[in-house]
Amino acid sequence: MAFILAMLNVIVAENRYDKQFVDAYTIGFDKLIEHVKPFTPEWAEQETEIPAKDIVRIAHEFSDAAPRAVYYAGRRSSWYKDDFHTRRAQAILNAIVGSWDREGGMVPNGKIALGEYLFLPWDDPVAPRVDEMDKNFPLAAKGDGAYLKLRENVIAGTPYPVKAWMVHKQDPLNALPNQARTLEMVQQMDFIGVVDVQMSDIAWYADVIFPESTYLERTDPVEVLSGITPVVVYRQQVIKPAFDTKTTLEIAQGLAKRLNLAQYFDFTMEQWVAAQVKELPLEMPLEHMKKHGVYVPGDFPKFGTTLNAEHRFITKSGKIEIFSERLQEAKYDPLPLYHAPPQPPPGKFRLILGRRAYFTHANSTNNPWLNQFAPENRLWLNSAAADSLGVGDGDLVEAKSTVGSIRLKAKVTQEIRPDCVFMLHGYGKKSKWQRLVADKGGSDAELLETAWDTVSGNASMHETFVSVRKV
C-alpha cells in the first residue's frame, strides 16, 4: 500500500489526475488531497525499498498513459490483514486518472443474463449463519462467507453446535491456513460427506465419499465467462464414466430421494440447460449450444456504459466514493491508511507462497501429466541466509511456525529476499491415494497461522514467520 499511496501523492500534488472524471464521477477527492500529503516518495522508499525517483517515474508514466493504464495486484486471497484497504487504494488510483470504463483501462465485466429452472420454494432457515458475517464482517460479501471464522466458531460451538459437514469440489485441509486447526474441526464432526473426482485429503477423512464423474464424463450447466467480451460456454460429456461415478446432479437427486425431498430435483440436466439458454437471442438456443458449445455476442466490447449522468454506482452516493462514509460508520478507515506489517523477529523469515501455472490450486498436483513439470516443492532460501544456516541447495530442511512444521528440500537462490522464504502450494498431501504428492515436499497449510483480513474476512497468507534449520 505504501507504494500506491506514494503514487497518489505524486499524481495529486502535480495535478496529473483526470479533473473532469474526478468531478463528474467521484466524491471525496478533496479529502484525498490532504490525506496523501504525508505519503511522499521519500517516505515510501523507507517502507518499500523502492527508490523515490523510481516511484516518481512510475507515477508519471502511469498518469501519462491514462486512461489506458490499470493498477492491478492480481487475483488471490489477502496477503496481510489490511489488504482490503490496499485494494481500495488501488481502485482510487485507477479512478483519479480516469481509467474506469475506458478502452485500455479498467472496464466493467460484460454480462449475459441466463434463465433459471424454477425450483419449488427454497427452505428459509431461521438459524443464524455459523460464520456470523453480519457481526464480524458487516461490509464483506455475504455470498463468499468467511471460512476461517466459520472454522473457529464450529470448534467453539458458536452460535450453535455443528456436527455434520458436506464438502464439494474443495479440500479445506490444504486450502485453509493452520491445518492442525482444520483437523480439530474435522475430528469433532459426527459425519463428513465428500463429493470429489479424486481421493483428496478431506476425502481421506470422510465417512462417506460420493465419487463424482470428471469433466469429460459429464454434462454441466452452461456458464457465463465474464470479461470485456463475455461468452456463454457449454461443457458436454465426451466419454462414458470409466468407473462407478455420478454427476453432481445425480448425486443430489440420490440424496434428495433418500431424504424424501425428490420433488426439489425433479428435472434433467437438459431441462436445466434449456431453461438457462432460452432467452439468448438465437433461433434455437439449446440446439446451438449443443452444436457449437459456445455463444459469443456480437455487441461487445462496450466502453463507457457507466459514464453518463443517469448511471448510479452501487454506493450510497451513486458515485465512486474515494472517501467512504460507509466504512467510517462501520469503524473502518474511510481512506486507505498505511499500517506497516510486522517484521520477522531475529532468526525467522516471512513465509510467502504461490502457485505454479501448471496447477489449479492444490487440486491437480497429483495429475501425472502435470506433476512431471514440478514433481515436488522446495523451500526457496536466499543464498546469504542459507550460508548462515549451513544449508546447501537440495539439503533437507525443517521449516517451523507456531502451528506446525514441515520438512522439504531447500532451493538456494538469489531470487528471494534474505528475510523471506517461499514455497509452492499443493504438496505434502496426507491422502495416500495422492501417490505423486503424498508426503512429498510440504504443505503450506501446516505452517500458515490463522489470520484474516479485518474487513473481508479473507485468509491473510503472508502474516506467518518461520524458523529454518538443516535436518
Residues 357 and 390 in one domain: yes
3-state DSSP call for residue 272? helix
The answer to whether residue 218 scores a pLDDT higher than 80 is yes
Residues 8 and 55 in one domain: yes
The answer to whether residue 119 scores a pLDDT higher than 80 is no
Q: Under the phi-then-psi rule, with left for phi > 0, alpha for psi from -120 to 50, and beta for the rest, what region is 333?
A: beta
Question: Helices 269-277 & 285-292, crossing angle to 10 degrees?
Answer: 110
* pLDDT, average across residues 433-437: 93
User: Is 342 part of a structural domain of the chain?
Assistant: no
* pLDDT, average across residues 165-189: 96
pLDDT tens digit string along 11-69? Answer: 999 999 999 999 999 999 999 999 999 999 999 999 999 999 999 999 999 999 999 99
The fraction of the chain above a pLDDT of 70, given in percent, is 99
pTM of the model: 0.92
User: Is 169 part of a structural domain of the chain?
Assistant: no
Q: How many domains does the chain have?
A: 3
466 closest CA partner among 392, 394, 410, 387: 410
Of the pLDDT bands very low, low, confident and very high (cuts 50, 70, 90), residue 120 is low
Residues 283 and 418 in one domain: no
CA dist 203 and 198 (Å) reads 8
Residues 289 and 320 in one domain: no
Residues 53 and 10 in one domain: yes
User: Is 356 part of a structural domain of the chain?
Assistant: yes
Of the pLDDT bands very low, low, confident and very high (cuts 50, 70, 90), residue 428 is very high
* pLDDT, average across residues 313-320: 94
Residues 156 and 279 in one domain: yes
**139 exposure class (CB count in 10 Å sphere: 0-12, 13-18, 19+):** middle
The answer to whether residue 211 scores a pLDDT higher than 80 is yes
Residues 143 and 281 in one domain: yes
User: Is 336 part of a structural domain of the chain?
Assistant: no
The answer to whether residue 461 scores a pLDDT higher than 90 is yes
3-state DSSP call for residue 291? helix
Please name the residues in contact with 161: beta carbons below 8 A apart, sequence gap of 6 or more: none
pLDDT tens digit string along 183-201? Answer: 999 999 999 999 999 999 9
Q: Looking at residue 126, what is its pLDDT?
A: 82
* pLDDT, average across residues 90-107: 96
User: Is 437 part of a structural domain of the chain?
Assistant: yes
Enclosing domain of residue 432: 349-470
Largest separation between any pair of C-alpha atoms in the chain: 71
Q: Looking at residue 435, what is its pLDDT?
A: 93
CA dist 448 and 405 (Å) reads 10
User: Is 122 part of a structural domain of the chain?
Assistant: no
CATH number for the domain spanning 452: value is 2.40.40.20
User: Is 428 part of a structural domain of the chain?
Assistant: yes
Q: Single out the residue in 253, 272, 295 at which a domain terminates.
A: 295
CATH number for the domain spanning 86: value is 3.40.228.10
Residues 90 and 148 in one domain: no
Of the pLDDT bands very low, low, confident and very high (cuts 50, 70, 90), residue 240 is very high
The answer to whether residue 385 scores a pLDDT higher than 90 is yes
Q: Single out the residue in 295, 321, 337 at which a domain terminates.
A: 295
**Which H helix or E strand runs over 193?**
strand 191-196
User: Is 185 part of a structural domain of the chain?
Assistant: no
**Which H helix or E strand runs over 84?**
helix 83-96
Phi, psi of 270 (to 5 degrees): -65, -40
CATH number for the domain spanning 157: value is 3.30.2070.10
Q: Would you say 115 and 30 are in contact if contact means Cβ atoms under 8 Å apart?
A: no
For the four alpha carbons of 28, 32, 33 and 35, in that order, the dihedral sign comes to positive
pLDDT tens digit string along 336-375? Answer: 999 999 999 999 999 999 988 888 888 899 999 999 999 9
The answer to whether residue 118 scores a pLDDT higher than 80 is no
Q: Looking at residue 121, what is its pLDDT?
A: 65
Residues 374 and 453 in one domain: yes
The answer to whether residue 75 scores a pLDDT higher than 70 is yes
DSSP string, 376-401: S--EEEEHHHHHHHT--TT-EEEEE-
Residues 137 and 70 in one domain: no
pLDDT tens digit string along 253-271? Answer: 999 999 998 988 999 999 9
Residues 139 and 245 in one domain: yes
Q: Looking at residue 116, what is its pLDDT?
A: 87
Residues 80 and 143 in one domain: no
